[in-house]
Structure 1
Amino acid sequence: MTSDVSLFVNPSAGRGRGARAAGPAADHLRRAGFGVRSVVGADAADALRRARAAVEAGTSALVAVGGDGMVSLALQAVAGTDTPLGVVAAGTGNDFARAAGLPLRDPAAAGRVVAEALKEGRIRELDLGRTGDRWFGTVLASGFDSRVNDRGNRMRWPTGRLRYDVAVLAELAALRPIPYRIALDDAPEREIEATLIAVGNGPSYGGGMRICADAEMDDGLFDVCVVGPCSRTTLLRVFPRVYRGTHPSHPVVTVHRAARVRLAAPGVTGYADGERIGPLPLEARTVPAAVRLLV
């Protein structure tokens, strides 16, 4: 282990906030006596290769500077290792940092947390979800929400947030119940119809949508939120409640807890930490204490 800290930077996160956030965070680390090296890749695959190389070389910490996509990429490098993870949340959603109680869009404060945590040995061991060889920290989404992502990713116009608003309207127009097969832990597989199923290691996705509102990141279990078949009107009534985390009280919503979840459904893609994982069927399992977070 060296005294160097690796800043894992996404320059484009939050319309450039990632690049701007790196400076104040690095300043705090240097004042605390740490050497700082930046890890920036030409693309996601190159960035991950460089991050893994830094971990293998014995960096004191890998500090993700950016949004949830950058944190997710960092998790692929540090999960299951002794290298601690720092987070300077400078993206749009920041759901991982929000769930962990870390500063949001305040790079100086986030840099101070990382520096002090390294000095004082403040580590919080958190669970991660794993599906195939992919780790995730917040939510694995499938169904209506993932179809909105699919449609939004295919669209070239409009741009920005409006693209996803248009995708939501298009998916609402096409709303139909999805036939799922679901199995929780060792229970028999069941066939159900649902609008969406979200598997939460953490409580929120999409920038504070508390889809798995009571999920805790260190209890060894997922919270599995199932939104059953519903009309467009019902979905429009239920979905705003997701921001407050009060939707589980609606009769169309059920929540389960499990350490392993298997999902299958035709024509449905899974997204974890906002990143595309691939088509169902997928199996997700919790891995306790998989990452050492600087807090």
Structure 2
Amino acid sequence: MGFFLETLLGGLMTGMLYALVALGFVLIFKASGVFNFAQGAMVLFAALAMARFAEWLPKWLGFSSPVLANVLAFILAGVVMFAVAWVVERLVLRHLVNQEGATLLMATLGITYLLDGIGQTLFGSDIYKIDVGMPKDPLIAFESTFQGGILINKEDVIAAGIAAVLVIALSLFFQKTGTGRALRAVADDHQAAQSIGIPLNRIWVIVWCVAGVVALVAGMIWGSKLGVQFSLATVALRALPVVILGGLTSVPGAIIGGLIIGVGEKLSEVYIGPLVGGGIEIWFAYVLALGFLLVRPQGLFGEKIIDRV
């Protein structure tokens, strides 16, 4: 029982990190109605910016405090992501208002390669580290209840807590604020939103800024765990089954989908993997997503599309 709970907790914590990356997809889709393939590149770009600024700032400003370096690097990386959002809206999205979804999709693919190239040019292509002071040592809990206790990774607990707070804040933002309702209106119909006075350009800047902050937090956490390297962009691929499962338009769906995928991966690898030769954790999420596409394409919490003829 103790080992099961240990695996379950590990899956829940990993699932929260998946949900954090998936939020970037959901945010952009809710505001533009297009799937943002640039989200993985945004996570990588933000992580690279923070890692390199944390390394450069002490040399530029002449201080030695790692805490101050990380705080300033996070703020400066956030400013960079805001600048990226403004440039994307000014140079790309502004010229594609009311265009077909496929056109916007191709635009996000172009943004992906552009961010990858600029990131490598500005920040380099080596492996960098982000050390924000999260403890790496594991914690053994419930020793009196279960034999040997339950091994808990402190870093995963803190990371999952940060992800949960951000997810809750974004959920409230979409449900309780006028800007959040405007974002949903823009996603439903660009022309109708413009006709009632919603400034489409400003809304897109806001949503890309928010998605940039989400990418920065995700990049900081994943960069702290895995190191900042160009393979970090593939973390976004692990979030694809999450948004398929939860629904492309649902922030709560991203949370539930992330938790289901995280727990499912861990439990299937531990209990089913030995029966099929291992490696099930790699493809489990994609097979589950494929099943949902066949049965419920809109996901658990997505809006069902009905075409009237």
Q: Shared topology, TM-score over 0.5?
A: no
Comparing both chains, which one has the higher relative contact order based on Cα–Cα distances under 8 Å and sequence gaps of 6 or more? Answer: 2
Q: TM-score scaled to structure 2, two decimals? A: 0.25
Task: Indicate the structure (1 or 2) with the bigger Cα radius of gyration.
Answer: 2
Q: TM-score scaled to structure 1, two decimals? A: 0.26
**Structure with higher helix content:** 2
**Structure with higher strand content:** 1
